[in-house]
Chain A
Amino acid sequence: MKKIEAVIKPFKLDDVKEALNEIGIQGMTVSEVKGYGRQKGHKEIYRGAEYVVDFVPKVKIEIALKSDRVEEAVKIIREAAKTDNIGDGKIFVSPLEKVVRVRTGETDEDAL
């Protein structure tokens, strides 16, 4: 089992969700986050005071899935989230030790 965390541009969330649905990956957790990588922040001006805002709003999606589906899922997320501009985001994949479904108590792959 693996966990995919993808940090993407907020307006790409629906595209990514639809694309994952189409290949049968359902269920995700979404959070609104801020961060920066190579993309520079922007400048804001309030009564002549200039502020450089480094942290850019992003959306982070988290998906838990079977290991054999990871390559496909990463490819789909990347295709859907891409705008070819700096700041498109990053995808992180990590091993997942244990999963429990709260309602039934099923564990691991049964719980995915």
Chain B
Amino acid sequence: MNSSDIVFMFVSTSFVMFMIIGLALFYGGLVRARNILSIIAQCMICIGLVTIIWILYGYSLVFGSDVFGFIGNLDFLFLKNVGQDAGPHADNIPHILFCMFQLMFAAITPALITGAFAERMKFKAFILFTFLWSTFVYFPIAHWVWGGGWIGTHGGLDFAGGTVIHINSAVAALAGAIAVGKRKGWPVEQIKPHNLGVTFLGAGILWLGWFGFNSGSALAANGVAMNAFFVTQIAASASALSWMAVEWKIHGKPTVLGLASGAVAGLVAITPASGFVSAFPALLIGLVAGVVCFYAVGLKARFKYDDSLDVVAIHGVGGLWGALATGLFASLEVNPSGADGLFYGNPSLFVIQLADNAAVIVYSMIVSLIIFKIVDLLIGLKVSPEEENAGLDISLHGEKAYN
């Protein structure tokens, strides 16, 4: 046990918790005024529901002893053997602290998906979806990468969740946008963000929280953690500027939403790489993320899926770029327990990253589509046109954000 590590992980865990609040504001400002509370409610469900299933069986399925590389066993069911002493995954901090840090990742991931079907999904359907998706998609994939499953053991790198969290949630988001269907009027009617100040506040909270998200993934207050801290700042800044620049060039104005979106895209892209790459690769990762994600936003109009808040473009494309960039720029000099990437003489890491992420995309897409189908059959996914017109805040939650 190391008390500096304990303090550091306590702070990091709290930061990740606060990210979910930031996400609610980031998304909340982007929807119309009549739907902001529905976003907040969905984020709260992710915190509440995932916390409960995590302590019941989720933690065990992710971090219990490996079964066939696919899932954890039931060693930690109902938190059995999870106490104040160190656990098998981190010998420097209490097992319960490790458990809680990992819980925050499990809770924020379904919250990220909500952006894809914002402003139209039934609340009951969302609750059932979150329960099923966490159980059958998030827990297995988190186990594959971090819990002793096949991706982690054969050398795939994902420092803080580019694959587990961002790509995974974005694939489910694409499935959700398709399964739930378009918002009424999209893309013909003008559906505009109602409060970009709130969105910026949310982006700022996300940025701050991301320091805990990435640095905390080192699981100790050490140099690798501070490397993650440093490169997180660099990538987010670079991406904010590059998104703004390309938007300015194409549309004639540098928008604040562009700056905020670019920052988030950079944060996403650096996530898997943050413990493995140094400052200048991080700069490049950020610069590319802002441009690539900006263009990726245009995909939904071309392919006619209403990914309302661009989860696919920012978390999917940004996450995929970050995962592949990890295969390019990872360096043993930064982290001896990582690997060298293609530009450091080891092309095999790039191939591993490509294959792992392809597998995650396929698994997440198939199982997410099945889950949406089941929820559709049991409850129905989409609210009625009348409810959608009135806004989910009043029709589902019986309250309005603004009176």
Residue interface mask A45-67, B partner, CB < 8 A = 1: 11111110100000000000000
- Stretch from B91-99, B157-165, B249-257, B333-341 at the A interface: B249-257
Q: How many angstroms from the CA of A50 to the CA of B257 in the assembled complex?
A: 13
**A47 engages B192 (CB within 8 Å):** no
- Any chain B CB within 8 A of the CB of A32? no
Contact among B255, B298, B301, B310 with A45 in the assembled complex (CB-CB below 8 Å): B255
**A48 engages B250 (CB within 8 Å):** yes
Residue interface mask B280-324, A partner, CB < 8 A = 1: 000000000000001001100100000000100000000000000
Chain A interface main SS type: strand
- Any chain A CB within 8 A of the CB of B356? no
Q: How many angstroms from the CA of A1 to the CA of B190 in the assembled complex?
A: 43
Residues of A within 8 A of B298 (CB): 48
- Any chain A CB within 8 A of the CB of B193? yes
Residues of A within 8 A of B192 (CB): 44, 46, 51
Contact among B190, B252, B258 with A47 in the assembled complex (CB-CB below 8 Å): B258
**B190 engages A48 (CB within 8 Å):** no
Residue interface mask B186-205, A partner, CB < 8 A = 1: 00001011000000000000
**B190 engages A51 (CB within 8 Å):** yes
Q: Which residue of A lies closest to B253 (CB)?
A: A45
Q: How many angstroms from the CA of A31 to the CA of B349 in the assembled complex?
A: 65
**A50 engages B251 (CB within 8 Å):** yes
Residue interface mask B253-269, A partner, CB < 8 A = 1: 10101100100000000
Interface residues on B, range: 10 to 19
Minimum distance in angstroms from B236 CB to a CB of chain A: 17
Residues of A within 8 A of B257 (CB): 46-47
Among A45, A46, A47, A50, chain B packs the most CB atoms within 10 A around the CB of: A47
**B253 engages A48 (CB within 8 Å):** no
Q: Which residue of B lies closest to A50 (CB)?
A: B251
A window 25-57: CB within 8 A of B: 44-51, 53
How many of chain A's residues have a CB under 8 angstroms from any CB in B?
A: 9
Q: Which residue of A lies closest to B248 (CB)?
A: A45
- Any chain A CB within 8 A of the CB of B119? no
Q: Which residue of B lies closest to A47 (CB)?
A: B297
Residues of A within 8 A of B193 (CB): 46
- Any chain A CB within 8 A of the CB of B247? yes
Residues of A within 8 A of B297 (CB): 47-48
Q: How many angstroms from the CA of A44 to the CA of B257 in the assembled complex?
A: 11
Residues of B within 8 A of A48 (CB): 247, 250-251, 294, 297-298
Residues of A within 8 A of B190 (CB): 51, 53
Q: Which residue of B lies closest to A45 (CB)?
A: B251
Residue interface mask B231-255, A partner, CB < 8 A = 1: 0000000000000000100111101
Q: How many angstroms from the CA of A49 to the CA of B193 in the assembled complex?
A: 12
Among B193, B251, B258, B301, chain A packs the most CB atoms within 10 A around the CB of: B251
Residues of B within 8 A of A45 (CB): 247, 251-253, 255
B window 160-184: CB within 8 A of A: none
Q: How many angstroms from the CA of A45 to the CA of B298 in the assembled complex?
A: 13
Q: How many angstroms from the CA of A51 to the CA of B261 in the assembled complex?
A: 18
Q: How many angstroms from the CA of A49 to the CA of B294 in the assembled complex?
A: 11
Minimum distance in angstroms from B313 CB to a CB of chain A: 8
Residues of A within 8 A of B247 (CB): 45, 48
Minimum distance in angstroms from B264 CB to a CB of chain A: 11
Q: Which residue of A lies closest to B193 (CB)?
A: A46
Q: How many angstroms from the CA of A47 to the CA of B243 in the assembled complex?
A: 10
Residues of B within 8 A of A47 (CB): 257-258, 261, 297, 310
Residues of A within 8 A of B294 (CB): 48
Q: How many angstroms from the CA of A51 to the CA of B193 in the assembled complex?
A: 12
Among A48, A49, A50, A51, chain B packs the most CB atoms within 10 A around the CB of: A48
Q: How many angstroms from the CA of A53 to the CA of B189 in the assembled complex?
A: 11
Minimum distance in angstroms from B191 CB to a CB of chain A: 9
- 12 residue pairs bridging A and B, Cβ less than 8 Å apart: A45-B247, A45-B251, A45-B255, A46-B192, A46-B257, A47-B257, A47-B297, A48-B294, A49-B301, A50-B251, A51-B190, A51-B192
Interface residue ranges, B against A (CB under 8 Å): 190, 192-193, 247, 250-253, 255, 257-258, 261, 294, 297-298, 301, 310
6 extra A-B contacts, CB within 8 A, seeds A47-B297, A50-B251: A45-B251, A45-B252, A47-B258, A48-B250, A48-B298, A51-B192
Q: Give the 9 A-B CB pairs with smallest separation, nearest first.
A: A51-B190, A45-B251, A47-B297, A48-B297, A45-B255, A45-B253, A46-B257, A46-B193, A47-B261
